[in-house]
A and B are shown apart, each in its own frame.
Chain A
Amino acid sequence: MSDAPVLSVRDLRVHYGTVRGTVRAVDRVSFDIGAAEVLGLVGESGCGKSTLGRGVLGLLPEGAASDGQVLYGGRNLVGLSPRQLSGLRGPELGLIFQEPMTRLNPLLRIEDHFKETLEQHEPQLTEREIRQRSLETLGRVGIPPTRFRQYPHEFSGGMRQRIMIALALVLRPKLLVADEPTTSLDVIVEAQILAILADLKRNFGTALLLITHNLGIIAEACDRVAVMYAGKIVEDGPARDVFADPAHPYTRELLRSTISLETTELHSIPGAPPNLIDPPAGCHFHPRCPDVMRVCSWKQPIDVAPGPDRRVQCWLHGPEAEIPPGEAAGLEREEIAVADEA
């Protein structure tokens, strides 16, 4: 694996301007993705992970603005014009969406979708070459050539998602962002899709940013994992290490609340994810954290490395020097009322 990361994100902010205030969906996020690496981005609904995925590609809705650095191929994607960005989307950066049923144009055949994509980015290809490339990529995701000329409504949800993946991969991008690609599919289909995604590095050499709320998927398919809460990445590292020995209380609680065959009692994290317009002061997680300290309620935690190749933002891991005396004591806090939840 080469050393230089495919994508380097530094201090990225993506905010939405609404009448009620600025929504800080992505609040100073930094991470790297190595070549042909699979990075899982996990978090609860509303933590900003979808926005992060789209923000990387510059595919943000109206009213959103971004700031910071998204370094790809030596350029900062944040400052680029829409035209330049759209040139990169496809051959360099790809995105597959959560809901495959509506992502294909119902009036166009699958063949037309591929033709359009390839003609747009590789105009020098002949018709035969286009057809060949398309069929080959489709074949790799398990769609037979006999269905090439069919319309989207003739395919099931799982197959449409596979077509979307093929459409993204036919241009051989270096980075693919997958935004909850299997959430709307049943478990068996999910396994198939995950298998395809996990093989990306082998078959195509593509790096993958896999966004999901499902820890099981991360464990199965990802090399590294980044845990996101309230717009910030609170922990990241190799998937196996993070799951075996979580550094951040939130990660720990998340793992504890997953259900397996051995579960005898349901565990959940009290309270609800915070409002991103006005998040809690200090560490965003502190109102719900079982190990909260005094300093957590007013001072933002700093990046710390609790182990090799790992990073966490939590005062439990220091640095000691930044914690004023006496603030390391536990925080007295009233019980979270049941009515506050949800």
Chain B
Amino acid sequence: MAAVAQGTSLKSYLLTRLVLVVPMVLILLTFVFLLMRVAPGDPISAALGGHNVPQSVIDQIKHRLGFDKPLWQQYVEYLGNIFRGNFGTTITDQRPVSDIILTNGAATLELTFFAMIVALVVGVFVGLLAGRFRDTSVDVGGRMFGIVIYAMPVFFIGLMAQLLFGSVLGWLPTSGRASPITQATLQTHTNLFVIDSIYDRNWGALKDVMLHLILPAVTLGLVTAGVFIRLIRVNVIRTMKDDYIEAARARGIRERDVVYRHAFKNALVPVITVIGLSLALLLGGAVVTETTFNWPGIGHELVLYLENRDYSAVQGIVVVFGLVVVFVSLVIDFVNAFIDPRIRY
């Protein structure tokens, strides 16, 4: 049966793609490892403040962290640790990086999730309209909106929003994930506050959490939306020129159906890929957003550890970020193959 035939080709594609991930991950890990090791300067003393730390203390820490072993041995242990989920320990406060991920990861996840939703809704909507009504005022307006919005640095929007909504209008909270009261009363199961408050039917907490989410998520989301607008618009324009569009018109398919069923649908196929590509942008932006809004996520922690010159922490966090990106792009490729029958091998 035809359905079975498709299934196997999809499966084989997935397997091939999975296999291809391995070298990429290895390269990423190796790159981070080398970067951290070959960088000039002594990481340990730098992390400890760089002043007159007695050599014995430095040596002790070096030994504890395994920095005195031969390079290749460090490398092997490093890889092995990662496969077991151990991403290292921070130098400054001896905290396992995996702990950082678990505690603060949820915050970043919530932020990026809602930001992505904002970006998608705004970006796809404006992009489709701009592409469809090319060269009209709708198009011009949409594009200028996208361009200017992308040109605004996250911290600028954040600062302006804080000034406007926080100091002047006082409508929205400008810092943190939740007010102290909520933080005291909310039971954290998953650390995803939205889900936790729904699970507990704690509606007061939910409202508070959502209010705190608005400014950071919208800020980050709008900036990312700019990317979507540009890409989707170009795609709609390109798709409208495709031959099968003309053929559909020749069959008397109404323009509205041609646009929605053929042009838009085909133009949105790369959106899945674009989501994957913009993920990198989103993660980078999350770092700045968390710093601006004092959002206790991984990005915020990263900046703190950077200030403290904590090599080990930085290495661990960067590795996690890298793995997340690789994993997500894998998922994206899968979804793509599912949607577009041509991609399967």
Contact = CB atoms under 8 A, between A and B. Distances in A.
Contact of B250 (A91, A95, A102, A107): A95
B242 interface: yes
A88 interface: yes
Given A120-B257, A150-B2, A102 B252 contact: no
Contacts of B249: 59, 86, 89
A103 interface: yes
Interface stretch (B202-210, B260-268, B295-303): B260-268
A102 to B, nearest CB: 4
Interface residues of B, number: 24
A104 B244 contact: yes
Given A120-B257, A151-B341, A90 B251 contact: yes
B261 A153 contact: no
B251 A105 contact: no
Given A102-B242, A107-B341, A91 B252 contact: yes
A149 interface: yes
A32 interface: no
| Residue from B2, B244, B252, B261 with most neighbouring chain A CB atoms (10 Å) | B252
B247 A103 contact: yes
Q: Tell me what chain B mostly uses at the interface: helix, strand, loop, or mixed.
A: helix
Contacts of A106: 244, 266, 340-342
A117 B262 contact: no
| Residue from B242, B249, B261, B265 with most neighbouring chain A CB atoms (10 Å) | B249
Contact of B266 (A99, A102, A107, A121): A107
Interface in B179-206: none
Nearest to A98: B243
A102 B244 contact: yes
Nearest to A104: B244
Interface string B223-264: 000000000000000000011101111111111010001100
Contacts of B253: 86, 90, 116-117, 120
Contact of B252 (A88, A146, A149): A88
A211 interface: no
A90 B246 contact: no
Interface of B: 2, 242-244, 246-255, 257, 261-262, 265-266, 269, 339-342
18 contacts: A82-B255, A86-B254, A95-B250, A97-B250, A102-B242, A103-B244, A105-B262, A106-B341, A107-B269, A107-B341, A116-B248, A117-B252, A120-B251, A120-B253, A120-B257, A149-B2, A150-B2, A151-B342
Given A86-B255, A90-B253, A107-B266, 13 more contacts: A57-B250, A59-B246, A82-B255, A86-B252, A87-B252, A88-B252, A89-B251, A105-B262, A106-B340, A117-B252, A120-B251, A120-B254, A153-B341
Please list the 6 inter-chain residue pairs (A to B) with the smallest Cβ-Cβ separation, ordered nearest first: A90-B252, A89-B252, A102-B243, A95-B250, A103-B247, A105-B244
